[in-house]
Chains A and B, each alone.
Chain A
Amino acid sequence: MIGLIARRVLGALPNLLGIIAITFLLTRALPGDPAAFYAGPAGTQEAVEEVREKLGLNRSLPEQFWIYVKDLGSGNLGQSLSTGQAVIQELRMRLPASLELVFLALALAISIAIPLGVMAARHPNSWIDHLCRLVTTAGVSLPTFFTGLLLTYVFYFLLGWAPSPIGRLDPFLTPPSAITGIYTIDSLLHGDIVLFRACAAQLCLPVLTLTVFVLAPLARMTRGSMMAVLSADFVRTARASGLASPTILVRYALRNALLPVVTTVGMVFSFLLGMSVIVEKVFAWPGVGSFALDALVASDYAPVQGFVLTMALLYTLLNLGIDILYVVIDPRVQLTK
């Protein structure tokens, strides 16, 4: 098993190289002269030359690529022109905010979608199946920004249940001192229940917005995959042997139906990372996405590239985790590959 996991990790290396190659290309494809760009609008001719020398822009492309890789290795993603900080610093500070959003939404979506899909497959054409169908077709068609604004209008303006959509915490409260950087966890670690509730309330709408979007593919895949498994012979045999219905459903059917669902989780994570940018904008959430957007508006490209790279690395990491999860769920994977 360890050997297998090691092989999976090695298998992700070409992917990593691809990511670095593409982000490098994106760096070089900057409109205009990157050196003039990094020197800033006030840069003189000498300053531009100096930057060109410093960035190695006067060397050949392979050499430049090597410099780029070396910089990445030492965690140098460049400077943000608008904030004056190192990009890596900013990303590290803001990443917990984004992760909190994305992983909570993923967890919520999975915990709704799987039972929904299983029940829909168990009772085809029942009301729950129709509900599942409605959720799956409506969910993928909802633009995230539309859902977010609709939820804000209903739950903040009309009902007054949600706090105003202005970031992670009410401006009158002080955030918990950083341990993980994830406010809800930090406030719990400090034992501050009031603060925890304030953070959680702030999270509700953005997480819900993301969940609605990714619920659909997960529920659809669970339903389809469960339908196929439930009509298999071994399920009939289990049923004929008199096993209890929940046992058959969960221990026999679900475990076999789970592989394609886990694959879909990977796909859905890609959506989540993308859509989190939009959700962060709608809810003024200070994550990496809104950092990249602010930079983009100010034509400050280093943060955008750092952001793209971070997201791609996160995605690769999650896919690696999923690859390893396959083996845990289905030991047969080990034998065939």
Chain B
Amino acid sequence: MAVTTFWGQARATARENPFTLVAAAMFAGFLLIAIIGPWIVPFEPLASNAAQALTPPNAQHWFGTDSLGRDIYSRVVVATRVDLSIALSAVAFSFVVGGFLGAIAGFWGGRIEQTVMRLCDMVMSFPLFVLAMGIVAALGNSVFNIILATAIVNLPFYVRVARTEVNVRREAGFVEAARLSGNSDWRILLHHLIPNALPPMMVQVSLNMGWAILNAAGLSFIGLGVSPPQAEWGILVAEGASYIISGEWWVALFPGAVLMLAVFTFNFLGDGLRDLTDPRRRT
């Protein structure tokens, strides 16, 4: 029964907002490229070819070549895996840690809740991108620290969702029943309350993915995280930035456009998912 209503609603959402379907297809495409990318590229992404430097897009080099003659199309394709895995790991980290902290705060309340929420407020009192910069600067410039910084600045959003979801059901009938049948607090939390908090948290994930990619690409654009010879969207744009004023637009604009497309995909998908799980909040 639950399955049919879910699919019924999925169909209704798709009918009303066909962009969600398009976004889902594009998401699948990005995933596929991230997985098989390195095997399908026409050129070696790191191979430079000085004779072919800064060629405009043509039949051979679809996105043109950069100042070292590297094929931009191949570099953009290979970068997909890097960007998606950074964003996914960051979001997964916030999801697990934020979900856990939020759940215990919502379940036990009191001192734990105060501490957790105060910590969230502290993080939220910084402009998020600036705090991410500060964290990477303090911990050292590495891909892992980019992931950590992105995860930390996103943590409060997950904590809030999980806390609310657990809190509203803390006294629900099925929780009382579970308690009366002798389940421990932890068991109730893990088996009865957290599963109920998962759908809204999944929506948070998809709404957050786009932002996480933007954040990570932004950090590498300003020179943090992934280091240059490796292909990553933010770095590719940064490498092309100086050629914009002399008219070699393809070096920066193709990677930028693909990054935009990815963020676009996640934002649309997130909106669609939210409509699906909570039709009341539709805008």
Q: Which residues of A are interface residues toward B (Cβ below 8 A)?
A: 14-15, 18-19, 21-23, 26-27, 29-31, 137-138, 140-146, 149-150, 152-153, 156-157, 164-165, 220, 223-224, 269-275, 277-278, 281-282, 292-293, 296-297, 301, 304-305, 307-308, 311-312, 315-316, 319
Number of A-B contacts (CB under 8 A): 161
Q: Which residues of B contact A275 (CB under 8 A)?
A: 129, 218
| Most-contacted residue by chain A among B125, B131, B224 (CB, 10 A) | B125
User: Complex formed: what's the CA distance from A277 to B223 in Å?
Assistant: 12
- CB interface residues, B 212-248, toward A, < 8 Å: 214, 217-218, 221-224, 234, 237-238, 240-241, 244-247
Q: Which of B127, B217, B237, B245 is close to A311, meaning CB atoms less than 8 Å apart? A: B127
Task: Report yes or no: B218 in contact with A308, Cβ–Cβ below 8 A.
Answer: no
In the assembled complex, the CB of B235 is this many whole angstroms from the nearest CB of chain A, namely: 11
Interface size on B, residues (CB 8 A): 49
Supply 16 A–B pairs (Cβ within 8 Å), ascending by A.
Answer: A18-B122, A19-B126, A23-B134, A26-B134, A29-B138, A141-B263, A143-B234, A149-B240, A152-B244, A153-B249, A153-B253, A157-B249, A274-B129, A304-B137, A307-B130, A311-B126
| Most-contacted residue by chain A among B122, B135, B137, B267 (CB, 10 A) | B137
- CB interface residues, B 139-154, toward A, < 8 Å: 139-140
The prevalent SS among residues of B at the interface is helix
Q: Which of A30, A156, A315 is close to B138, meaning CB atoms less than 8 Å apart? A: A30
Task: Report yes or no: A26 in contact with B125, Cβ–Cβ below 8 A.
Answer: no
With both beta carbons as reference points, the residue of chain B lying nearest to A270 in the complex is identified as B127
Task: Report yes or no: B264 in contact with A277, Cβ–Cβ below 8 A.
Answer: no
In the assembled complex, the CB of A129 is this many whole angstroms from the nearest CB of chain B, namely: 12
Q: B259 at interface (Cβ–Cβ under 8 A)?
A: yes
Q: B156 at interface (Cβ–Cβ under 8 A)?
A: no
Task: Report yes or no: B138 in contact with A277, Cβ–Cβ below 8 A.
Answer: no
Task: Report yes or no: B133 in contact with A143, Cβ–Cβ below 8 A.
Answer: no
Task: Report yes or no: B134 in contact with A308, Cβ–Cβ below 8 A.
Answer: yes
Further pairs besides A282-B241, A293-B222: 6, Cβ < 8 Å: A22-B122, A29-B138, A144-B218, A274-B132, A274-B218, A293-B223
